[in-house]
Structure 1
Amino acid sequence: MSETTIDTQELGEKIVKVIKTIYDPEIPVDIYELGLIYDVFVSEDYDVKVLMTLTTPNCPVAESLPMEVEEKIKSINEVKDAEVEITFDPPWTQELMSEEAKLELGML
């Protein structure tokens, strides 16, 4: 397998790894485990689109967090371009958090 043919699933896993390095400023859990990432699309051209939400519409990092996600994804060599779209539909609730996040926050 040459370096130019990479599996989009493999790339998806790399993207998730990078996303897991980004933490919500108010909650000591990464944004992936918090359930803020709704979807990650990887096209055959290695363009990435992330559909994510914020814990609240007036989240203090509403401007910087999507930019950080975009920049970190773009830093992966295979990624050609990345775009982050913010949605509040459905709105984020604590139900979207992983078991790991709930455990971390003492909710289990």
Structure 2
Amino acid sequence: MNLRDQIEEVLKTVYDPEIPVNIWELGLIYEVKINDDNRVAITMTLTAPGCPVAGDIVREVDEKVKAIEGVSDCDVTLTFDPAWNKEMMSEEAKLELGFM
């Protein structure tokens, strides 16, 4: 499994505590960049700007990605542009949450 696949797999283990779907399937991960030195930059959002567990989710993403063998460092950037909406969810997430 290549590094990008490993990062995707670990992101699928991070959940918004209020929603029983992982942040990858929710569409909260906007971008994953891997530099030549295996420094990872992740741009992500949250389901709402006032999310009370925002810090916890960002910290969990940072810690889990840094723990992947071969990753030299991780920078997580939180953005609300574009704002998240339920159309960004995977089909699997929509089914699980009853949006289909």
Global fold match (TM > 0.5): yes
2:19 matched to 1:27? Answer: yes
More helix by share: 2
The residue aligned with 1:106 is 98
Q: 1:93 corresponds to which letter in structure 2? A: N
- Computing the radius of gyration from Cα coordinates, the structure with the larger value is 1
Name the TM-score, length of structure 2 as normaliser: 0.97
Any stretches of 5+ residues in structure 1 without a counterpart? 1-8
Any stretches of 5+ residues in structure 2 without a counterpart? none
Name the TM-score, length of structure 1 as normaliser: 0.90
Give % identity.
Answer: 56
Q: 1:49 corresponds to which letter in structure 2? A: A
The residue aligned with 2:38 is 46
The residue aligned with 1:4 is none
User: Following superposition, which runs of at least 4 residues in structure 1 exceed 3 angstroms of deviation?
Assistant: none
The residue aligned with 2:84 is 92
1:62 Cα deviation after fit: 1.2
Q: How many residues align?
A: 100
Mapping for residues 10-89 of structure 1, pairs under 5 Å: 10-89=2-81
